[in-house]
Every structure is written in C-alpha cells, then in structure tokens.
Amino acid sequence: MRWFSIIIITPLLFGQPQYPADSLLASRSVPLIHKAGLLPIAAWQRLSYNTDLLNCQFYPSCSNYGAEAIIKYGMFRGSALASERIVRCSPFALHYHMETRAPFHAPDGRLIDYVTPAPAAKTNKSPWLASLLSALIPGSGRIYAGRIWDGIMGMWTMYLAGNSAYYSLKDDRPIAGPLFGTTALIVYFGEIYGGWRAAKYYQTKGLDDQDSPLNK
C-alpha cells in the first residue's frame, strides 16, 4: 500500500501536467490548501482517463466538476458539491435529465450539468424545506423534490460513509478515523445541498415552462 501511494503521489507532485487537474496543481494562483483537495481528483483521472470503463455520463465529468467546485468554493464546500454530484451520477441520471428537459453536450451526448446551474423554471418545491429535510434525514430532501432514486442513493452513500466513520473512530484508528469522519461530514453537507439543488433546479418541466432557459 505504501509503494502504491508513492507511485501515485510522486507524479502528481513532480510530473508534467497531462490531465485536467494537473494544470491546477501546477498553477501558482491556486492556494496550497485547495491543491490538497485536488490530489485525489488528479489520482482518479490517471485511472478514469485511461479506460472507457470509467467514462463519466456528465459534462463536465465528476472529476472536473469537483476540481472546479474546489477552486471556486474552497476545499470543504467544493468537496461537498463534488459529493452531491457523485451521488447523482447513477443509472437514474439519464431519466431525470430527460424528465427536466436539460441539454446534452453535442460532441459526445453527455448530460450537461454545471457547478453553477442554469436559471430554473418555476417550482412549487421549497429549497429550504428540502435542505432541512436532508439535514434531518440525508437523502429525504431529494425525495421531497421528486428525485426518489437520487434520495435513496444519497441515503445509501451517507450510510456507508457514516458507518465507516463510526467504526474507524470507535476502534481509535489514527488515520482512518479522521479520514472517514471528514468524508462523512462532506457527504452529509453534500446531501443538504443536494436537497436544496434538487428542489431549486431539477423540477419536471410542464407545458407552462416552455420558455424556461433550460429548454432553449
């Protein structure tokens, strides 16, 4: 495991930029604390960009989305936004994308979903209530907003992260405990944001929404 970590981290620190996140790691304008959050993304891109099995269905991809979120909002908040996107990157993404009549990326047909969403159509769902529900029960805000499967995925992700954090902290693991604990916090706040975003931006378009910017 130690040698694997060395093999992954060494080219991240000293290698020439080759993958999208590498250019951000090499940039002098990116704060060091942000670069710490970009390291796992750069490592992941070394895998995902070298096999078609790990192609992302979204544009920008989840790794590039996460990198952009960290640069814009900082490591913790950006990581929460990245976690929220990863939860949505599921087999149900295409169904929800078509349901809201969102656009596709013309060159490759991927689902367009930016860090800063397009203006939303009118909705009768409260983003703040969705946030509160997800704060009480992670995933429930997405369900309230109509994205039932996204909500279930959020609950499952929170369970895995929380369970890993609980047992790692219970067993006093000096590295795994803080690592999984931080991951669980990121997923938790990602779910709160996920509820808000689902209610605010991802509502089914009706006939009265034909003039929505998302339909142009």
pLDDT at 203: 81
186-195 residues labelled b (16+ CB within 10 A) or e (exposed) = bbbbbbbbbb
Within-domain flag for 143 = yes
Cβ atoms 141, 196 nearer than 8 A: yes
Domain count, the chain: 1
Within-domain flag for 6 = no
pLDDT for residue 169 is more than 90: yes
Q: CA 131, CA 195: separation in Å to the nearest integer?
A: 5
Q: CA 29, CA 2: separation in Å to the nearest integer?
A: 31
Within-domain flag for 122 = yes
pLDDT at 216: 37
Burial class of 66 by CB neighbour count within 10 A (0 to 12, 13 to 18, 19+)? buried
Cβ atoms 192, 119 nearer than 8 A: no
Within-domain flag for 22 = no
Within-domain flag for 116 = yes
pLDDT for residue 69 is more than 90: yes
Within-domain flag for 36 = no
Q: Which DSSP state fits 214?
A: G
Within-domain flag for 93 = yes
Q: CA 26, CA 35: separation in Å to the nearest integer?
A: 9
| 196 confidence band (pLDDT: 50, 70, 90) | very high
pLDDT at 215: 37
Q: For residue 112, which of 100, 124, 126, 129 has the smallest C-alpha distance?
A: 100
| 25 confidence band (pLDDT: 50, 70, 90) | confident
Q: Quick count: other Cβ atoms within 10 Å of Cβ 23?
A: 13
pLDDT for residue 54 is more than 70: yes
Written as six digits, the tokens of 30 are: 């990116």
Residue matched to tokens 């991802």: 202
Domain that includes residue 191, residue range: 56-207
Residue matched to tokens 């991240």: 12
Tell me the one-letter amino acid at 128.
Answer: W
Lowest mean pLDDT among 44-53, 102-111, 168-177: 44-53
SS3 58: strand
Written as six digits, the tokens of 191 are: 């779910």
Within-domain flag for 173 = yes
pLDDT at 213: 38
